[in-house]
Amino acid sequence: MGPDYQILIIEPLFEEANRTRRMIATMIRLLTARYLSATIAELPGTGESLIDIADVRLPDWQAGVAAAIAATGATVIASFRGGALLDGGSLPVWRFAPEAGARIVRDLRRVKASGSSDTYAGHALNDAFLDELEAAQTPSPARLRTVRLATDSGVADVKVEGSPLWRRAEPGEDQALSEALAADLGRWIEQCAAS
Amino acid sequence: MGREHRMCGETVDVDARIRSVLVDILGVSRERAATFDDDTGLFGSLPELDSMAVASLLTEIEDRLGIMIDDDEVDGEMLESFGSLRAFAEAKLAG
């Protein structure tokens, strides 16, 4: 018997993905222990992708997520931070600390302005892509649960204690946060996302 | 310690929130952050605060205090010391 639910994870975007990799890896281990299988979506221009990030536009990422859903048979999406911009569709969505496109882009421009490189924290992004990201609206899926940190003033179904690892210069780990997130996601899938 | 400000009808301890941002974003220990006074140097003095970390620090302060910081307000003076950063945030909340 395989797992009943297949989770597709959409990571935070750009540098934030590196900073949260351990947090998400720990969550996946904990979910697996609950017989929930999870796969991380690989977006065009990131990770092992053969596409140059400099050529990527927002519809490429949306198509990448659709392809990952089809390939994995995902039944639920878990998105993090700017990954929420890509989680629209018919699947139930669990979000952690979703961030608006305009704020993601503002952050990227701020990092670029504070450094000496003409890339965005090492990512050579094209202007049209940044404009698309800036204008992107966070989707409103029919079945949605939003989790945020207790220090975050945004609207959420539940708030958890922890620190914003996606902003940490040195990648950190917060075991208690990973455990709280995995438990909330697991419970929500078992109780609510099943249909 | 520090003046208190109200945000959405809630009293905000700016001093404590900025200390917690330094802990969460720069990885400074809570014990060490508690020893910071107004003259404790930040940018140029604190090795954890490099130019990449400045962007994260400012964005997190915006989130936790519900303020917006324009990039042309950011200069060496504002980030020079713990006291100057707190004074900047307090002025933003008051204004």
The string of pLDDT tens digits covering residues B52-77 is 788 889 999 998 898 999 888 888 89
Residue-level pLDDT at A1 = 40
Considering the entire predicted model, what is its pTM?
Answer: 0.88
Residue-level pLDDT at A65 = 97
- pLDDT confidence of A193, banded at 50, 70, 90? low
Mean of pLDDT over chain A:
91
Higher pLDDT among residues B85 and A4, named by residue: B85
d(CA A98, CA A16): 12
Residue A160: pLDDT over 60:
yes
- pLDDT confidence of A195, banded at 50, 70, 90? low
Query: Number of Cβ pairs closer than 8 Å across A and B?
Result: 53
Contact A152 B56 (CB under 8 A): no
Q: What is the mean pLDDT of residues A101-110?
A: 91
**Which residue of chain B is at minimal alpha-carbon distance from A122?**
B52
Residue B24: pLDDT over 60:
yes
Residue A191 CB partners (closer than 8 Å, separation 6+): none
- pLDDT confidence of B94, banded at 50, 70, 90? confident
Residue A180 CB partners (closer than 8 Å, separation 6+): A160, A161, A162
Chain A positions with Cβ closer than 8 Å to B: 103, 106-107, 110-111, 113-115, 121, 151-153, 163-164, 167-170, 172
Residues of B with Cβ-Cβ distance to A170 under 8 angstroms: 27
**Which residue of chain B is at minimal alpha-carbon distance from A106?**
B59
Greatest mean pLDDT among A81-90, A111-120, A160-169 lies in A81-90
How far lies A158's CA from each of A103, A116, A180, in Å? 22, 40, 11
B66–chain A nearest CA distance, Å: 8
A113: nearest CB among B8, B20, B71: B71
Residue-level pLDDT at B1 = 46
